[in-house]
Amino acid sequence: MSAVVETHNLTKRYHDKLAVNTLNLVVQEGEIFGFLGPNGAGKTTTILMLLGLTEPTSGRASVCGFDPTHEPLEVKRRVGYLPENPGFYEDLSARENLLYMARLNRIPEDEASRRTSEVLEQVGLSEDGRRLVREYSRGMKQRLGIAEVLVKNPSAVILDEPTLGIDPDGAIQVLELIKGLNREHRLTVMLSSHQLQQVQQICNRVGIIVKGRLIVQGEMDELGRAILKGRQWNFLLDVGGGTDGLENDLRAINGVDEIEKRTHGLFLRCTRDVRPDVVSLVARKNLPLLQLRSEDPTLEEIYLKYFREA
């Protein structure tokens, strides 16, 4: 695998504020990378540096093999960019906006027209292509923004908060669209977000940035292991009520660290896979084993933990 985006100690200082602090980040070809962090963490500043739209104070970046500071046009030719607040010509139709964007990218006229229809179809706006953008809803505009990014047939896209301001259903649709583009066209995607639950479903890997520093990056399950450290095993046990006598016996099992009551059963935090012991204990006590499943930490838990530690 080769890296589409790579940064080495990338740093941006605004006056006395370190907006991005020695960032080392890798986005691999063909993946969806979630760049996560709370408001003001430095996501947009990082993205602007990756596109050569602002200069790093120190450190460097490589995007599609080019240095955005010195070769911004090479980067722009290959990478589609959706800004935080994409702007359109409101008095033009969606189709006209796309044609204009195609011209800016020096796409020949007949190809531009074909590409425009193609991307409108891809983002589900074929029917509305001739309507004025001023009549578009926020969600439609976001789709149009993605269509604009796709017009020049980029090999990678950088999307700054692609679900910002869209209702949950619309956000899911936008994310599904991104996932489909990644799957069908092997489009490399880097997207920023502070909405964890949403992006968790589509990202192969994530990086979490807090106060300008990347505090962790990796695959979801790697992050899970890192966060749990010694306690890698979580299980949910449901024996259909009557758990009082069971709790003490469970605690006696070597490796069971903590037990929490949940609406449906008991949540066990363990230092090893205790399932065989749990199953034989439940059988010995003649209880019905309704459920025993391993529970991986959600990104939300991971994110909150790292935020607290930051």
Ligand X SMILES: Nc1ncnc2c1ncn2[C@@H]1O[C@H](COP(=O)(O)OP(=O)(O)OP(=O)(O)O)[C@@H](O)[C@H]1O
Binding site for Mg ion (CB under 5 A): 43-44
Residue 40 as a binder of ligand X (CB under 6 A): the answer is: yes
| Contact status, residue 250 vs residue 256, Cβ threshold 8 Å | yes
Which residue among 4, 10, 19, 157 contacts ligand X (CB under 6 A)?
Answer: 19
Per-residue contact flags (x/-) with ligand X for residues 70 to 109, judged by CB under 6 A: --------------x-------------------------
In whole angstroms, the minimum distance from the beta carbon of 37 to ligand X comes to 5
Closest of 133, 140, 187 to residue 159, by C-alpha: 187
Residue 145 as a binder of ligand X (CB under 6 A): the answer is: no
User: Residue 97 binds which entry of Mg ion, ligand X, none, with Cβ cut-offs from 5 to 8 Å by kind?
Assistant: none
Instruction: Copy the structure tokens of residue 239.
Output: 């024996």
Checking DSSP bridges between strand 188-193 and strand 32-36, what pairing results, if any? Answer: parallel
Residue 45 as a binder of ligand X (CB under 6 A): the answer is: yes
Q: Which phi and psi angles does 274 have, rounded to 5°?
A: -95, 10
Residue 146 as a binder of ligand X (CB under 6 A): the answer is: no
With a CB cutoff of 8 Å and minimum separation 6, the contacts of 83 are 145, 160
With a CB cutoff of 8 Å and minimum separation 6, the contacts of 77 are 152
In whole angstroms, the minimum distance from the beta carbon of 42 to Mg ion comes to 8
Residue 42 as a binder of ligand X (CB under 6 A): the answer is: yes
Under rule CB under 6 A, which residues in 180-219 are in contact with ligand X? 194
- Chain centroid to CA 65: 23
User: Residue 42 binds which entry of Mg ion, ligand X, none, with Cβ cut-offs from 5 to 8 Å by kind?
Assistant: ligand X
Decide whether 39 or 263 has the Cβ nearer to Mg ion: 39
What is the rounded distance in angstroms from the CA atom of residue 259 to the CA atom of residue 267?
Answer: 6
With a CB cutoff of 8 Å and minimum separation 6, the contacts of 272 are 233, 254, 255
Instruction: Copy the structure tokens of residue 220.
Output: 């979801």
Residue 237 as a binder of ligand X (CB under 6 A): the answer is: no
What is the rounded distance in angstroms from the CA atom of residue 232 to the CA atom of residue 255?
Answer: 11
- Which of the stretches 41-49, 107-115, 242-250, 255-263 binds ligand X when contact is defined by CB under 6 A? 41-49
Decide whether 47 or 270 has the Cβ nearer to Mg ion: 47
Q: In sequence order, what are the beta bridge partners of 279?
A: none
Residue 14 as a binder of ligand X (CB under 6 A): the answer is: yes
Residue 39 as a binder of ligand X (CB under 6 A): the answer is: yes
User: Residue 60 binds which entry of Mg ion, ligand X, none, with Cβ cut-offs from 5 to 8 Å by kind?
Assistant: none
Decide whether 77 or 194 has the Cβ nearer to ligand X: 194
Residue 68 as a binder of ligand X (CB under 6 A): the answer is: no
**CB atoms inside a 10 Å sphere around CB 45:** 21
Q: Give the E-state strand segments of 72-142 in sequence order.
A: 79-82
User: Residue 200 binds which entry of Mg ion, ligand X, none, with Cβ cut-offs from 5 to 8 Å by kind?
Assistant: none
Decide whether 122 or 193 has the Cβ nearer to ligand X: 193
Which residue among 34, 37, 80, 145 contacts ligand X (CB under 6 A)?
Answer: 37
Q: In sequence order, what are the beta bridge partners of 260?
A: 267
User: Residue 40 binds which entry of ligand X, Mg ion, none, with Cβ cut-offs from 5 to 8 Å by kind?
Assistant: ligand X
Sign of the CA dihedral running 254, 256, 258, 259: negative
Interface contacts to ligand X, rule CB under 6 A: 14, 17, 19, 37, 39-45, 84, 194
